[in-house]
Amino acid sequence: MKVRSLRIPQDMDQAIEYVSKMEKTEKTQSLRKLARLGFEYYVAKAYREGKITLRDSSRLLKLTLSETIDILLEMGVKGNIRASDVLQSLNTFSRLD
């Protein structure tokens, strides 16, 4: 794990303190958790906007596809796969038989 040094605004420090008290953890662990949640939100937003694929999202989050789908669903992000994409995939598989 790398060590980074950064200045944290007062409101963010209060948020870290709040999470630390609520979850009975150390501030550094709370900061890591909040940073992870922020990154998950960032990736979910990029996926929702069609800037990255589900596979890209999964790779960035270092999760399986199903774990990534679960996180996206928890955040209210629906898949960006169209019915035409599914039909095209089914046609491709049927030709392989």
Q: Residue 39 domain-assigned?
A: yes
Q: Give the integer Cα–Cα distance in Å for 52 and 23.
A: 33
Domain that holds residue 17: 10-96
Q: Give the integer Cα–Cα distance in Å for 19 and 68.
A: 24
Name the domain count of the chain: 1
φ/ψ region of 24 (left if φ > 0, alpha if ψ in -120 to 50, else beta) reads: left
Residue 69 tokens read as: 């789908």
Mind listing the pLDDT tens digit of every residue in the chain (97 residues)? Answer: 888 888 999 999 999 999 999 999 999 999 999 999 999 999 999 999 989 999 999 999 999 988 998 999 999 988 766 666 666 767 776 776 5
Q: Residue 1 domain-assigned?
A: no
